[in-house]
Amino acid sequence: AARPTEQERAVDIHVAGVTKEFGGAAALHDIDLTVRPGELLALLGPSGSGKTTLLRIIAGLVEADRGHVFFGGLDATSLPVQKRQVGFVFQHYALFRHMRVADNIAYGLQVRERANRPPKAEIRRRTAELLDLVQLSGYESRFPAQLSGGQRQRVALARALAVEPRVLLLDEPFGALDAKVRKDLRAWLRDIHERTGKTTVFVTHDQDEALELADRVAILNQGHLEQVGSPDDVQDHPATPFVMTFLGQAARFSADIRDGRVLVNGKPVPVAAQRSTIGRASLYCRPWHLTPTAIGQGHYTGTISGIRRLGSIRRIEVSQANGTTLEVEVPLRTSLRLGEEIGLEILDGVIFRDD
Ligand code: ATP
């Protein structure tokens, strides 16, 4: 029979009811999460939200207080890390400094017990294949100190892949690199992922990185899973105010909902609300959900307190007498002056009930 492709062999990861406390403080609350076979899933959240803890529980490096972790439907909760067949890459490349690149990559195979160890020629062949995959052919005899940070992380990824892990777990793998290199490595990782088809969980606190790279994004906040969805899902349909504000600039307005109509400062906003929702709510608006209008028109009045150009559009900052400021996107050709008083009209937004 034909050897199954990696995609066919890729396993899903299922996290069920995982809870973890450190010294009485909850780091993860009752997390349920499924990573689909062959998927690249980003765990995204601010510092301290529990991303690394969840990744380490999946890996078997940290034990959950409650809950289970399944790989391909089999309960791995009590399996030690060595038995889980996971490949890791961490933020700070943990390459062996005294070993050449090729030996770093081959290490996981060379230390296997004799019965499971591939023959030397096979190890050499696989190492060459991985060097090619991470685009470092010709670097096999270098030592880690003779590589750039980005190259070291590519070696770390090749080393993680060498043992043919069932899943790949990456903890801020580009976190220590400068912005330009990080950006280059994003496209590169996406490409490697498509070629290997490994189920991959990727920790990042960088929204752009998660939204650009991942098939789906799982957003954590203070140990709670706020939302899991495609980059479009989480951006267009944020499940909570946290997700809305974490993924980008958002202004909050108090709103009244009556008969399915949303009112801000007594004026209707063209945003649909469920008919059953009545009473106070919050309307969150992105900079492109707002547009300048004449004073006294629109939903809001304020003074322009900042103007800056963002590529092909302009962002203006509008301050209200009470000190709140918000950002509005306008076309480049709009002529507006600092200090000018304007009205703002709300064109769109996302409604959340206040409770
Ligand atoms: P960062 O982006 O800063 O790495 P994170 O989202 O990965 O953050 P975690 O490292 O998972 O967050 O930490 C979640 C919470 O658990 C934090 O409040 C942290 O202080 C706490 N924590 C994590 N590991 C330990 C530990 N070994 N002992 C005690 N507390 C811990």
Q: Which of 52, 205, 207 to mutate to test ligand 1, by most ligand atoms within 8 A of the CB atom?
A: 52
pLDDT at 7 over 80: no
Distance, in Å, from the CA atom of 340 to the CA atom of 333, rounded to the nearest integer, reads 16
Percent of the chain scoring above 70 in pLDDT: 96
CATH topology of domain 249-353: OB fold (Dihydrolipoamide Acetyltransferase, E2P) (2.40.50)
* Mean pLDDT computed over 221-233: 97
pLDDT (0 to 100) of residue 4: 52
For ligand 1, atom 26, the nearest C-alpha belongs to 22
Nearest CA to ligand 1 atom 18: 48
The CA 28 to ligand 1 mean position distance, Å, reads 10
Query: For ligand 1, atom 29, which residue shows the shortest CA distance?
Result: 22
What residue has token string 């007594």? Answer: 266
Distance, CA 213 to ligand 1 centroid (Å)? 24
Atom of ligand 1 nearest to the CA of 50: 11
Query: The whole model's pTM is what?
Result: 0.88
* DSSP states of 120-136: HHHHHHHHHHHHHHTT-
- 26 CA → ligand 1 middle, Å: 10
- Rounded to 5°, the CA angle 111-113-117 comes to 75
Cα–Cα distances in Å, from 129 out to 10, 19, 27, 105, 317?
20, 40, 40, 11, 52
- Residue 321's pLDDT is what? 79
Report how far Cα 17 is from the mean position of its chain's Cα atoms.
21
Burial of 332 (0-12, 13-18, 19+ CB in 10 A): exposed
Find the 90 Cα to ligand 1 centroid distance in Å.
15
For residue 169, the CA-to-ligand 1 centroid distance in Å is: 17
pLDDT digits (tens, 9 = 90+) for 163-174: 889 999 999 888
Helical axes 149-162 vs 120-133, angle rounded to 10°: 140
Please choose from 49, 55, 205 the residue to mutate so as to test ligand 1's pocket, defined by most ligand atoms within 8 A of CB. Answer: 49
Ligand 1 atom 25, closest CA: 22
**Domain coordinates in residue numbering, the chain:** 6-245, 249-353
ipTM of the complex: 0.95
Cα of 31 vs centre of ligand 1, distance in Å, is 15
Atom of ligand 1 nearest to the CA of 62: 27
Ligand 1 centroid, distance to 53 Cα (angstroms): 6
Domain 6-245 superfamily per CATH: P-loop containing nucleotide triphosphate hydrolases (3.40.50.300)
How long a stretch of residues is the chain? 355
The pLDDT-based confidence of 1 (bands split at 50, 70, 90) is very low
Distance CA 334, CA 7 (A): 50
Residue burial 303-330, b: 16+ Cβ < 10 Å; e: rest: ebeeeeeeeeebbbbbeeeeeeebbbbb
Contact 219, 225 (CB under 8 A): yes
* For residue 74, pLDDT beyond 90: yes
Which helix (H) or strand (E) segment holds residue 155: the answer is helix 149-162
